[in-house]
Chains A and B, each alone.
Chain A
């Protein structure tokens, strides 16, 4: 199965700063990569699908890029509500797998 490795494990930034989260796949997943945000006590919320397409209702400050094995989620200017854990997930090769998550803390 494909292993997704996310970095960094924790990111601590201030509102207005730019956040860059990485997800690396152990083999190519083409562009079949999604990003989720999860807050405590809530279900994951889809942010990005197929590596670069924003899901319905997701603010434009969230963007995704990459293909093959290297992917990036960028939050251009952090808002206080952007805290949480971010997961990447691939469906380019079944079984579906998830990264271990990046915790984003807002200073």
Chain B
């Protein structure tokens, strides 16, 4: 059974940094592109970033380009999101998603950017 478990969320001040992780199990991790999707409290869904299975190709939403960096460690079945220069508008639940449009979602981790 596919399992995706996010961690690393919390309260951070504007301009600060945070690193999210997603532990994956139940499937051959390297075979699938992985995405991060976020959802501000009480609002809709926004795709953030995607990384190819081997990890050589990445893409970002314009709203996070240059501030957030996606990466993966296929030896540890782990997906990461390094978040720098955080803004209030980055406040959201961040979901780890397997093969978006086809696969499973994690339960999410909440990031709050506030002073």
Q: A-side interface residues toward B, CB under 8 Å?
A: 32-34, 36, 42-46, 49-50, 87, 89-91, 94-101
The reply to whether A49 and B101 form a contact with Cβ atoms under 8 Å apart is yes
B11 within 8 A of A: no
Q: Closest CB of chain A to B72's CB: distance in Å?
A: 18
The reply to whether A46 and B108 form a contact with Cβ atoms under 8 Å apart is no
Dominant SS at the B interface? loop
CB neighbours (8 Å) of A96 from chain B are 35, 47, 50, 100-101
Whole-angstrom distance between the alpha carbons of A39 and B1 in the complex? 22
Whole-angstrom distance between the alpha carbons of A50 and B105 in the complex? 17
Instruction: Beyond A87-B45, A99-B44, list 15 extra A-B contacts (CB 8 Å).
Output: A34-B101, A36-B45, A42-B107, A44-B95, A44-B105, A45-B105, A46-B104, A50-B101, A87-B44, A89-B101, A90-B101, A91-B100, A98-B44, A98-B47, A101-B44
B residues 6-43 with Cβ under 8 Å of A? 35
7 A–B contacts from the bound complex (CB under 8 Å): A32-B101, A89-B45, A94-B50, A95-B61, A96-B50, A98-B47, A99-B44
B residues 46-81 with Cβ under 8 Å of A? 46-47, 50, 59, 61
Which residue of B is nearest A98, CB measured? B45
Which residue of B is nearest A87, CB measured? B45
Whole-angstrom distance between the alpha carbons of A36 and B45 in the complex? 11
Q: Closest CB of chain B to A6's CB: distance in Å?
A: 10
CB neighbours (8 Å) of A89 from chain B are 45, 100-101
Interface string of B74-95 (1 = CB under 8 A from A): 0000000000000000000001
A36, A43, A44, A94, most chain B CB atoms within 10 A: A43
CB neighbours (8 Å) of A100 from chain B are 44
Which residue of A is nearest B104, CB measured? A46
CB neighbours (8 Å) of B59 from chain A are 94-95
Whole-angstrom distance between the alpha carbons of A46 and B4 in the complex? 14
CB neighbours (8 Å) of A33 from chain B are 101
